[in-house]
Amino acid sequence: MTDNNMCDCVVFLEGDWVESKLNDDIIGIVVGDSDFGRFVNVQLTCSLEIKPFYAVTLRHVYSEPEPSEGNVIDFTKAKALKKSTKTKGVA
């Protein structure tokens, strides 16, 4: 990431894109917090896994990350399902 694409914030809101300060390969979206904002729950990109991070170990990412290669499914778009619908193992 470039310097103008980072911050040293310690307040994160649901829907914010963040990355780990310790490993910038760890990118996700904030889905909540706990312990009065001390821990930030992040859903990791290309995963349904939600991990808690200390807020001070995260920084904002101001541009949405590019999807990684592989079987990426967009859950924000509706799709009609029938018995014959191919779901690639997700439904």
What the chain holds in terms of domains, given with CATH numbers, is: 3-60 (2.30.30.30)
Task: Output the CA–CA distances (angstroms, integers) from residue 90 to 4, 16, 48, in the order listed.
Answer: 37, 26, 12
Q: Does the reported pTM lie above 0.75?
A: no
pLDDT number for residue 71? 57
pLDDT number for residue 1? 42
pLDDT number for residue 2? 43
Radius of gyration of the chain (CA): 15
φ, ψ at 55 (rounded to 5°): -55, -35
pLDDT number for residue 83? 73
Structure tokens at 80: 């009609």
The model's pLDDT over 35-85, given as tens digits with 9 standing for 90+, comes to 887 899 999 988 889 999 998 889 888 766 565 555 566 667 776 777 777
